[in-house]
Amino acid sequence: MKFHLNDEQSTLDFGAKLAPLLPEQGLVFLHGPLGAGKTTLVRGLLQASGHTGSTKSPTYTLVEPYQLADRKFYHFDLYRIADPEELEYVGFRDYLDETALCLIEWPEKGGEFLPNADLELSLGYEGEQRSIKLKVNNPQWKVFEGIE
């Protein structure tokens, strides 16, 4: 499934549309070049889930936790990971064991230390616009096939 995003607001809106469809636990990969809108999409998703503060890219902290009502989110940015084994040193598997939704930017940096994603979002550029492709890897997440 592929969608066109005209501007930053449409990226935020798309994240907001995803929010009610996501289960409480799972793994979402966000692929795309710098500036493609990965963090903006996460911001829209978190705001629609009740987050009222800022949503910054966890490039330097590696992970930003969000506890919203009865849901937990972990927003990861692996851009600065030099070796996938670094994930073991920061206790990455502990995050996956919790009842939480893990949103991971730059998952390719995690290599074999990351399990397969339930949902993959690939953001990119098409001229002046952005686009997003959804790839559902978990059959229980097929609800995304109806998103507009």
Q: What is the CA radius of gyration of the chain?
A: 14
Question: What averages of pLDDT result for each successive group of 10 residues across the chain (148 residues)?
Answer: 88 92 92 92 94 78 86 92 87 86 95 92 89 89 63
pLDDT at 70: 82
pLDDT for position 15 = 94
Sign of CA dihedral 68, 32, 133, 129: positive
- pTM, two decimals, is 0.91
pLDDT for position 26? 92
**pLDDT at residue 148, as a whole number:** 55
**Residue ranges per domain, the chain?**
2-137
Summarize the chain as % helix, strand, coil (round to 5).
35, 30, 35
Query: Which pLDDT belongs to residue 95?
Result: 87
Q: 2-137 is classed in which CATH architecture? A: 3-Layer(aba) Sandwich (3.40)
pLDDT of residue 9: 93
